[in-house]
Amino acid sequence: MTAKGTGEIDNGRARPAVSRGQAEKIRILNTALRINALLDQYTKLYNRKELGRFLALFTDDATENGSRVTSLVGDYKKLFAKTKRIDLRLEGLTWHDNQGKDRNGFRVQGKFVGIYTYKNGTTPRYTGKIAFRLRQDRGNLKISSLVYSFQQR
């Protein structure tokens, strides 16, 4: 007995509706969707200067350029207070499964452009490279490490 879109029963044994290759493609697609959703939230909340919700995207032990994110909260508050508008965009992102100690995580890397409109009237533009390490934390995909380098244009 079969039905379109379902598995088959053959001699009392259920067979999956998709092949292993198809299942792997679905897993990869689902992973990409989860990563994109997290990084979309990252840029959206950063640009909106929603500090509490932004910080919730990070694991408790997350680092940014080697410093604990929790130790940088004051810096974020100052930056958000001094800016009228932030326009951060991530570009050319690629990802792969982590190797080493956190095999359940992912590494994402690419480039970014950040345009900051300060209350004093200046509007510097920064470009650079950015890399994230992501991992499962209490059932959610979160940022465990952020490393970036930039230059002002």
Choose among 47, 145, 56: nearest CA to 89.
Answer: 47
Amino acid at 95: W
CB burial of 71-82 (b: ≥16 within 10 Å; e: otherwise) equals ebeeebeebeee
How do residues 115-128 score in pLDDT, each as one tens digit? Answer: 999 999 999 999 99
Sequence spans of domains, the chain: 18-152
Q: Who's near 70: CB < 8 A, 6+ residues apart?
A: 60
pLDDT above 80 (res 68):
yes
Torsion of CA 61, 145, 105, 55, to 10 degrees: 60
What's the chain's average pLDDT?
89
Pair 57, 143: CB distance under 8 Å: yes
Q: What is the pLDDT of residue 28?
A: 80
Average of per-residue pLDDT across 94-117? 86
How do residues 6-28 score in pLDDT, each as one tens digit? Answer: 555 556 676 667 788 887 788 78
SS3 133: strand
Q: What is the CATH number of domain 18-152?
A: 3.10.450.50
Considering only residues 126 and 3, tell me which one the structure prediction assigns the higher pLDDT: 126
